[in-house]
Every structure is written in structure tokens, then in C-alpha cells.
Amino acid sequence: MDKYQQANLNLWNERTDIHAASDAYDLAGFKAGKTQLHAIELEELGPEVGGRTMLHLQCHFGRDSMMWARLGTKVTGVDFSDKSIKLARKLNAELGLDCEFVQSDVLLLPDHLEGEFDIVFTSYGVLAWLPDIKRWGEVIAHFLKPGGIFYIVEDHPFAYVFDDAVGQVELKPRYPYFHQAEPMEFETEGSYADPDAHVNQPVKYEWFHPLGDIVSALTSQGLHIEYLHEFNCCSWQMMPVMEKRGEWWYLPEDMPQIPLTYSIKAIKR
């Protein structure tokens, strides 16, 4: 494990406890049966899941995995954080669900898991932690059955270009759009689920992946893109100027509307 992966692992191990205690993840509501999957994935993927098997990549501590299980799918969740997987297994046992959880770097998953799945799923804030998007596509194709569905709903890479500093009130480009071999280094100040949380890991590392690279990672492995949808809302406050309406965050109506979230459905031929 290189220094980038180790730093990110340290951070996500810390975030496990922070997120489990946060209002944003609302574990009490989840345990009581509340669904916290968002409307986009429920509308687009929800009708497909009943009676099928699902591989959930970068599942964190498995909350969303277990919500899919409640909708009738047999889920295997994967995450590189040992603390997250430990909590996922604990919650799964407590709730009497039938999920499995595997600790692994997604890019190394074929070394730790066997089998094929009807659906491979991943969502919201996942790709920036992966250095190699081509390898990501290979792993998806490896685990997907012929005729199976790959589905992702994710923060739009174009939105990552803009300055997210506290107090920024304009759409001002700050970060590169295109992928670079070396990651961007950021100070860790709280968490998206709890901005005031203290974390001991001082920095995190992220890689940007343009939309063309993401699509090409899938099509190069023989997956057929059924659709690519873009949305002017996101699941968290990506920029300080954003306003929350219902379950989504938006830019103010008097600002230019840009894509903040996208979804892709692809079929393995």
C-alpha cells in the first residue's frame, strides 16, 4: 500500500465512526426501516433489483447495501476500510439481513472474491479515490454476468473543477478537469457528513477522472451504454453557495446551472 492509499485508508477508518454517529447517515432511522436511497437510483435502478444479485463497490459501512437488500436483492458489499466492513457486518447481523461484506481495494477485488453478479452498483463520491479508472472498468466487467447491469450515480466531474472554498460565491474554476497520474492533496477538515468533526489524518488524496475516461473504461470492456443522464442537483453541499431543496442541493436559480450529478446504466454484452 503506497502513501496515498494508506492516508486515505486512515481517513476512512476515522470517518466510519464519525459517519455512524452523524445525523446525515441517520443510523437510527435506517435501523427502523427508513430508506435513504435517493430518488435517482430508486427510479432508475430500483425496478431492476428484485430477485437479483448485486455487487456494491465502495459500500462504506454498508448502509446502502442493506437498503438494497431490503428491496429484494442479494448484496455483496466491498470496501477497503477494515473498520467500515466490521461495522457493516455488525449491522447486517443485528438487522438479520443476508448481505455479505468483503474488505478489499476495488482494483484488487478479483484476488479476494469469486463469482459473477446480475448487477454491479456504485454511488456518490466514489471515483475520486481510485487512481486507475481503466482498471476499474476491468473489475466491473470481470464480475458482471453476460446481460448484467452496471449502474453508477455519481458526482459530476465537471463540478469538481470549481472552487469549493468557504465563502466562495461564484463559479470560479480552480482544479483540473483531466486526469493526472499524481493525485491532488487536500487538507482534511471535518467530513461531508459532519463538517465540525475532528480527524487525525491531516491530508487526503484524490484523482480526477473526466467523463470521457469513465465512459471509455466501460465501453472498452464490452459494456454497452444504455444511457448517460446528467442532473443539476447533488446529494451533498458541494459548494458553499448551494441551497437545499428537499433531498437535493442546488446552485441558486440566478446562477448558471451546471451538471452536478450523472448516472450511467450499461449492459454487458
Q: Is 237 exposed, middle or buried (0-12, 13-18, 19+ CB in 10 A)?
A: middle
Q: Is residue 204 part of a domain?
A: no
Name the percent of the chain in helix, strand, coil, to the closest 5.
Answer: 35, 25, 40
pLDDT at 150: 98
Task: Give residue 166's pLDDT.
Answer: 87
pLDDT at 1 over 80: no
Residue with cell 428491496: 71
Between 133-143 and 211-219, two packed helices, what is the crossing angle to 10 degrees?
40
Q: What is the pLDDT of residues 202-222, one digit of tens each?
A: 999 999 999 999 999 999 999
Residues 70, 42: Cα–Cα separation, whole Å: 13
Percentage of the chain beyond pLDDT 70 is 100
122 in a domain, yes or no?
yes
Task: Please count the structural domains in the chain.
Answer: 1
Q: Does residue 46 lie within any of the structural domains?
A: yes
The domain in which residue 256 lies consists of 35-174+209-268
Q: Rg of the Cα trace of the chain?
A: 18
Question: Residue 158 is part of a domain; what is its CATH number?
Answer: 3.40.50.150
- Give the contacts of 140 (CB within 8 A, at least 6 positions apart): 57, 120, 150, 218, 221, 223
Enter the C-alpha cell of residue 66: 442493506
Q: Is residue 246 part of a domain?
A: yes
Structural domain contains residue 80: yes
54 part of a folded domain = yes
Spatial separation of the C-alpha atoms in residues 162 and 58, rounded to whole Å = 25
- 193 found inside a domain: no
Residue 163 domain-assigned (yes or no): yes
pLDDT digits (tens, 9 = 90+) for 18-72: 999 999 999 999 999 999 999 999 999 999 999 999 999 999 999 999 999 999 9
- Residue entry with cell 486526469: 179
